[in-house]
């Protein structure tokens, strides 16, 4: 079976490992990275270049396209592949609005009765001061400000004063984040612990993947700015079977049903970010993909061969026949970031990796069972590995307990050297 994997980050390296854990898989990746290259033939096409990606899928006569990041999905890759009858594990551009438009999602979720914070959508600065003040008074919190569109993880602000809230909203509406911020969602600020749940969906059918917890803040003790994710672990002990069922019944099911009713059935992975508040779980966001770095900890928990079966069944609408086998052993990932991340990550630093922890050489040489490295912002400069992105690598550990998995992940970092690199020292610490 020939598969095209779209993307070139840590999530896609984890996906490449999981896809090639089955036999008889020929994997292409665009653009890939040096870690993915151990499993796939990498082709230098950008992960958001829909036209070139579709042409590649046609030229190579692939049997399936699996899409990692959101941009190509929002840009319509699944729609174009459907036209050429190439199965795709990923939603159409309409269904990908669940990630591509926060106003669309909040409105749809409200109509479907999903438990979520109160919100208000604005698209002009008329009476802005009064609107923001009214939201703050009614909700008794400073509103969270969200740019409606995709903003590379920079579209959510948690202001410390009403003035900051008004100024930031005005800036967005006046174009500070170009089109992404011309509509703004103000949200009630809710408090609690966050969790990430994942599903493979086709229409109104779904299969649950393992859940995870991500650490989004840059610094230890959840201080500093939000990032794409500094580390993760799976399973998430906060997610009891009751909470899992509650999320499926009150968030997943009604939203899948609403999309199907509106003629845009959802096909692909769905990420549900929730906050566990004093009054129960509430929806923070939907993403139309797996999480990063969550994929790095959920996919190693699937048995060999199960991920490709899941991707195929998702694309082809046969999820009813899938029985995922999940390894109960916890997995933990610690992300190593480049100097200057997240504001201004430095590129081209040399990465030195101890030999025994180098990326595994393809599926014939299985990864060490306890510790392995996942590539994200790395590139090969002749034979030298260099940084080329903010989140450079993840050290991933497996253990019989979460404490052991965490220990193994941190042990893996001892063999990595990157000038000026930094990482959190408290991933999975509460457990
Ligand atoms: P999002 O991109 O919507 O996931 O938001 C990024 C982060 O902002 C989330 O992971 C939360 O930490 C925080 N956040 C988003 N919405 C809210 C909210 N309504 N109340 C409190 N925190 C929020
Ligand atoms: N780790 C958060 C995300 O993938 O959006």
69 touches ligand 1 (CB under 6 Å): no
* Atom 3, ligand 2: residue with shortest CA distance: 291
Of residues 367 and 165, the one with the higher pLDDT is: 165
- Please list the residues that pair with 393 across neighbouring strands: 336, 375
Q: Is 285 in the pocket of ligand 1 (CB under 6 A)?
A: yes
CATH 2.60.40.10 correct for 331-418 = no
- 176 C-beta neighbours (distance < 10 Å), count: 12
Q: Which two tokens mark 197?
A: 């749940």
State pLDDT tens for residues 368-392.
Answer: 569 999 999 999 999 999 999 999 9
Residues 6+ apart with CB under 8 A from 83: none
Q: Domain 2-92 - what CATH class?
A: alpha beta
Nearest CA to ligand 1 atom 4: 285
CATH class of 119-187: alpha beta
Q: Residue 144: CB within 6 Å of ligand 1?
A: yes
* DSSP-based three-state secondary structure for 16: helix
3-state secondary structure of 145: strand
- If you ran DSSP here, which 8-state letter would residue 350 be given? B
Centre a 10 Å sphere on the Cβ of residue 207 and count the other Cβ atoms it contains.
18
Ligand 2, residue 232: give the atom nearest the CA: 1
Q: Whose CA is nearest to atom 7 of ligand 1?
A: 156
The CA distance from 12 to 15, in Å, is 5
Collect all residues with Cβ–Cβ distance below 8 Å to 311 and sequence separation of at least 6. 3, 19, 64, 66, 89, 200
Q: Decide whether any atom of ligand 1 lies within 6 Å of the 118 Cβ.
A: no
Burial of 29 (0-12, 13-18, 19+ CB in 10 A): buried
187 lines ligand 1 (CB under 6 A): yes
Please report which confidence band the pLDDT of residue 365 belongs to, taking 50, 70 and 90 as the band edges.
very low
**Banded pLDDT at 207 (limits 50, 70, 90):** very high
Which of 145, 156, 226, 228 gets mutated to test ligand 1 (max ligand atoms within 8 A of its CB)? 156
Predicted TM-score (pTM) of this structure: 0.95
Per-residue pLDDT tens digits for 155-169: 899 999 999 999 999
What was the pLDDT predicted at 226? Answer: 87
CA distance 314 to 311: 5
Reference 430, options 283, 295, 332; nearest CA is 332
| Atom 14 of ligand 1: nearest residue by CA position | 284
Buried b (16+ CB within 10 A) or exposed e, 50-86: beebbebbeeeebbbbbbbbbbbbbbbbbbbbeeeeb
Residue whose CA is at the smallest distance from ligand 1 atom 11: 284
CATH 3.30.470.20: does it fit domain 193-321?
Answer: yes
| Structural domain boundaries in the chain | 2-92, 119-187, 193-321, 331-418
Which residue minimizes the CA distance to atom 5 of ligand 2? 291
- The backbone torsions φ and ψ at residue 303, rounded to the nearest 5 degrees and listed phi first, read -70, 155
Q: Whose CA is nearest to atom 23 of ligand 1?
A: 189
CA dihedral 95, 98, 99, 101 (to 10 degrees): 100
pLDDT over 90, % of the chain: 91
Dist CA 61 CA 270 (whole Å):
27
Instruction: Give me ligand 2 centre to Cα 62, in Å.
Output: 28
Please determine, for residue 144, whether its predicted confidence score (pLDDT) is greater than 70: yes
Nearest ligand to the CA atom of 68: 2
Q: What is the dihedral of CA 126, 130, 136, 137, to 10 degrees?
A: -150
What is the total residue count of the chain?
431
Q: How many Å lie between the centroid of ligand 1 and the Cα of residue 216? A: 10
Res 394: pLDDT: 98
């Amino acid at each position: 079976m020939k598969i095209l994997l779209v993307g070139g980050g840590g999530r896609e390296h984890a996906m490449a490992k999981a896809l090639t854990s089955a036999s008889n898989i020929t994997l292409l990746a665009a653009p890939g990275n040096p870690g993915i290259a151990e499993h796939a033939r990498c082709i230098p096409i950008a992960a958001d270049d829909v036209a070139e990606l579709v042409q590649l899928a046609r030229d190579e006569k692939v049997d399936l396209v699996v899409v990692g990041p959101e941009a190509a999905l929002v840009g319509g890759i699944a729609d174009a592949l459907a036209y050429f009858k190439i199965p795709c594990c990923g939603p159409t551009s309409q269904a990908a609005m669940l990630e591509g438009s926060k106003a669309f999602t909040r409105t749809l979720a409200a109509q479907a009765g999903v438990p979520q914070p109160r919100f208000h959508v604005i698209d002009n600065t008329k009476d802005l001061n009064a609107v923001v003040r009214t939201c703050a008074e009614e909700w008794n919190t400073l509103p969270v400000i969200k740019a409606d569109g995709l903003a590379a993880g920079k579209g959510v602000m948690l202001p410390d004063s009403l003035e900051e809230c008004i100024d930031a909203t005005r800036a967005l509406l006046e174009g500070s984040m170009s089109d992404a911020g011309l509509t703004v969602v103000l949200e009630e600020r809710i408090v609690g612990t966050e969790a990430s749940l994942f599903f493979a969906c086709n229409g109104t059918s779904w299969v649950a993947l393992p859940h995870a917890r991500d650490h989004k803040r840059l610094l230890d003790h959840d201080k500093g700015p939000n990032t794409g994710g500094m580390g993760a672990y799976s399973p998430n002990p906060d997610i009891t079977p009751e909470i899992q069922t509650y999320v499926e019944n009150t968030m997943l099911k009604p939203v899948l049903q609403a999309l199907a009713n509106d003629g845009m059935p959802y096909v692909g992975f769905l990420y549900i970010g929730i906050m566990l508040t004093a009054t129960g779980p509430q929806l923070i966001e939907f993403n139309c993909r797996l999480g990063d770095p969550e994929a790095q900890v959920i996919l190693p928990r699937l048995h060999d061969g199960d991920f490709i079966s899941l991707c195929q069944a998702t694309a082809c609408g046969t999820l009813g026949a899938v029985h995922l086998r999940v390894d109960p052993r916890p997995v933990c990932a610690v992300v190593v970031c480049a100097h200057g991340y997240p504001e201004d990550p430095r590129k081209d630093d040399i990465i030195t990796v101890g030999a025994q922890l180098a990326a595994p050489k393809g599926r014939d040489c299985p990864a060490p069972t306890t510790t392995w490295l996942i590539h994200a912002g790395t590139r090969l400069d002749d034979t030298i590995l260099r940084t080329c992105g903010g989140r450079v690598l993840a050290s991933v550990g497996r253990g019989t307990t979460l404490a052991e998995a965490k220990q193994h992940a941190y042990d893996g970092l001892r063999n990595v050297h990157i000038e000026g690199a930094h990482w959190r020292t408290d991933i999975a610490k509460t457990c």
